[in-house]
Structure 1
Amino acid sequence: MSEETKMYEKLLKRVNTLLIMAGCHFDETDAKRTVIQRFSSRRYFCFNMVMLTIHLICDFTWLALEYKRASLIELTYFIPCVTLSLLACTKSYLLVKNGEHVIDLIKSTKILQAISGRFELRTKTERESNKSVTILTAFMNFNLVLYILGYILFAIGPLILTGVLYKSSGKLVMQIPFVAWYPFDETDIRYWPIAYFHQLWAGFFDASSVHGSDSFYSLSCVFLQIQFKTLQYDIEQIIPEETNINTPEFYKSFRKRFMLIVMRHQELIRCVNVLEVIYSKSNLCIIAVSSIVICISAFNFTTSDDIIWRTIFLGFFIMWLLQVFSLCYYSNLISLSSTEVSNAIYNSYWYKANAEVMKDLLFVLRRGQKPCKLTAWGYSDLNLAVFSKIVSTSWSYFALLQTMYSE
């Protein structure tokens, strides 16, 4: 097993641990199951989805009943919380629904790693691979710490608010993490634990499913990018510098290596398309709501006088900003590395070859000039330009809200 495969297995196991907590973990038998069989085999996941659905019903019922009397901070707190829950529901559902594609992607990535590992040691590509994996690991660790701290604050925030209200008014009015309606008085200490632990459960499912799904997306992008880099190196070395290449023996050897490179290139393109199938719909959901959620979180952070509320909204702001950035950044890596395959042809000794070899290389060059893309369900390509546009739009909304609020 190559070093790259070991790193992939290690990080994949870590991602699967997060998804096990939500119930939408990887299962090799999904490749032979129908959609109904995949869901029925995950009873814990179905239970979580039922709990989350009840939670969302309570949230939207509160909005329908209280939106006229609710304060601005309650309404703006409602939006990012519910959006996160809807996103968790969408991501986890699509991950289970596309279970056969997930297993296909994992197996294909491992096969590509095994094929590329047969060649000689590549100091340059291994150094770049280690750097990419190090950055990915650091990013995953930072996100995990952010989610853990956010969940702890989510859990203890209502308790602190309860204590503050009791100290100021002398009345014990219990608080819950989300604003929601229940068929009982959730502020009564006799019934409060039901609502409180129900919302803690929903929050835990939100955090584990969103972070786990995003981590698998980033992991897949990084290791597909590494395979594109390895493919580039092999293309650059396909024509030796000091060999009589215009001989039948060389052409026979060349064709054998060339066909293997073409097959690897085609498989990499297919893997990117599989990743697109798994994530394109959830990507559209994120792109559609990110500007509003980032804007509202920033607005509440700057206008709220309560340190607890400000900390909560700061967490939402950083979390959403990082989520959109990782989505666009890793997609951008795939696009760049896929188009660099054509550059590898230019960097090879193609000018020493005969017309037949040049014709074969031109075939790969023309295909490599067409980038592999990850999109928001075809609505928009995902790259750093899209991230810049989202941040710019969020700033415009934020400036408008600030102006309206000050007036």
Structure 2
Amino acid sequence: MAVESLFDVTLKRLKLILILSGLNLEKCNRRQKIKRRCVFIFNSIWLNSDIIGAVFYFIDGIKNGTDMTEITYLAPCAMLSAVSNLKSFYLITYNKYVNNLIDELRALEINSINYNTNIKNQIEKEERRFLNVVINLLNILNIGMVVNFTFSPLILIAINYVRTKEVELMLPFLDVYPFDPLNIKYWPLVYVKQIWSECIVLLEICAADYFYYICCTYIRIQFRLLSYELENLIPTKPYDQDIRGRLLELIKWHQHLISVTNILELIYSKSTLFNFFSSSVIICLTGFNVTAIDNLAFGVTFLTFLFMSLLQIFFLCLFGDMIMRSSLEVSDAAYNCLWYSVDQRLTKDLMIVQIRAQKPCKLTAMGFADVNLRAFTRVLSSSWSYFCLLNTMYTPTTHEN
């Protein structure tokens, strides 16, 4: 019986998320694929009907001179919904590349079994521990956000009833419908619809982002193993084994990792570009809502939303940065091996490896920006600029009131 790889074990953590979102990463039979597509189409219609309602509310708000806090209340949620749409769309569009990426990462893990087992286990343990912490943290925040958006309107309804003895129905999100959503006949259905729309957004983002984190983690594991093997390629007595043969294996390993990183780049580059742009706006508007909305319940809700938005783009950049840094370590490993104790021909081969490894493997936002921690600081800088501008625009209105 074949032993299940650690990559497959980690990938299983996405099983429930993929089922509920209707997305599929691995190859499956026609029947399973049709089922997943039906769930995805149902969720897309469900979600995008609310997005359309949000767009109409935004347009009506501008036309009618609605207060800026009401307009910006809905905008971050609508933009995050657009991000989820785009991420899931590209996962489906590049499904063949996703399947290929999974197969390649499995092959890399199988091939690395032949190398130092103790070091391999140690590196895998460290990287998987960090990955689990990230996923668990984001799961807690996402659940907290669903709970906040679900119960905040109910809490406000209860508070208003205690004060005024009147029931004033509210919804989690301000959308336009072809009927009165606050009518008691429709209100429960609309309430449930909006909550599930929020769940769809989070499920689709989690499916895309968690798969990205998993792939980045296992690519980094491979780069760290490659660096270790390359650094220890040449023993103290250099001619007691086939060093050139081992070096050729390591070079092929390096080329394989470059190819796998390029596949990951192809899958995520377009959605990452939109994610960078939208994150600046989302963080700006969410921060504005936290400072401008007086209601404590909604303030806490948007504070949770702000942390989730910050962590989402931070981890996107962090895992990209991890790949870049680990690929550069290959160059250091080539330099740190005992290259001066072997013949000139082998030394030249090692120099070529070192020079190639100085060009890092990296993920980009369609080539416009590298996905690393510097990109995260630029997103924060843009968000702060937008926030200051928005706050300046809002201040005169406050004084007029």
- Verify same fold: TM over 0.5: yes
Kindly provide the CA deviation profile for residues 123-164 of structure 1, in whole angstroms up to 9, marking residues without a partner as x.
3x5434322221111111010010001111111222222223
Aligned partner of residue 114 in structure 2, secondary structure:
coil
Alignment partner of 1:355 is 2:354: no
CA drift of 1:38 comes to 6.2
Counterparts of residues 203-222 of structure 1 (less than 5 Å): 203-222=198-217
Runs of 4+ in 1 over 6 A off after TM superposition: 37-40
CA contact (8 A) 1:38 1:96 kept: no
Which of the numbers 46, 54, 62 marks the counterpart of 1:51?
A: 46
Match of 1:145 among 140, 146, 149: 140
Structure 1, 14-23 or 167-176: larger mean CA deviation: 167-176
Q: Deviations over 1:49-73 (max 9, x none)?
A: 1111211111112222233242222
Alignment of 1:272-291 (within 5 A): 272-291=261-280
2:278 aligned partner, one-letter code: V
Q: Secondary structure at the match of 2:129?
A: helix
Task: Please say if residues 88 and 206 of structure 1, whose CA atoms lie closer than 8 Å, have aligned partners that are also in contact.
Answer: yes
Equivalent residue pairs, number: 394
2:154 pairs with 1:159: yes
Q: Give the gaps of 5 or more residues in structure 1.
A: none
* 1:88–1:293 CA distance, 2 compared to 1 (3 A): same
1:220-254 residue CA offsets vs partner (Å, 9 max, x unmatched): 11110010000111111222212337xxxx5xx23
Amino acid at match of 1:328: C
TM (normalized to structure 2)? Answer: 0.92
- Same amino acid, percent of matched pairs: 35
- The correspondence for 2:176, drawn from 181, 197, 205, is 181
CA gap of 1:392–1:218, structure 2 versus 1, over 3 A, is same
- Supply the AA of the counterpart residue of 2:181: E
**Which residue of structure 1 aligns with residue 107 of structure 2?**
111
Q: Secondary structure at the match of 1:117?
A: helix
* In 2: Cα distance, 1:379 partner to 1:2 partner: 43
Distance apart, 1:8 and its partner CA: 2.4
Moved more, 166-175 or 132-141: 166-175
**TM-score, with length taken from structure 1:** 0.91
1:4-403 alignment runs, 5 A limit: 6-29=5-28, 42-67=37-62, 68-123=64-119, 126-244=121-239, 250=241, 253-403=242-392
1:57–1:399 distance in 2 versus 1, CA, 3 Å = closer
Task: Check the 8 A contact 2:53/2:176 in 1, yes or no.
Answer: yes
Answer yes or no: is the 8 Å Cα contact 2:157–2:168 preserved in 1: yes
Task: Tell whether the 8 Å contact from 1:374 to 1:381 is kept in structure 2 after alignment.
Answer: yes
Does the 8 Å contact 1:59/1:179 carry over to 2?
Answer: yes
Q: Is the 8 A contact 1:294 1:321 kept in 2?
A: yes
Distance in 2 (CA, whole Å) between partners of 1:127 and 1:120 is 10
Q: Any stretches of 5+ residues in structure 2 without a counterpart?
A: 397-401
Mapped to 2, the partners of 1:202 and 1:51 lie a distance apart of 7
Question: Would the aligned equivalents of 1:24 and 1:96 in 2 still touch at CA under 8 Å?
Answer: yes
1:368 Cα deviation from its structure 2 partner? 0.6
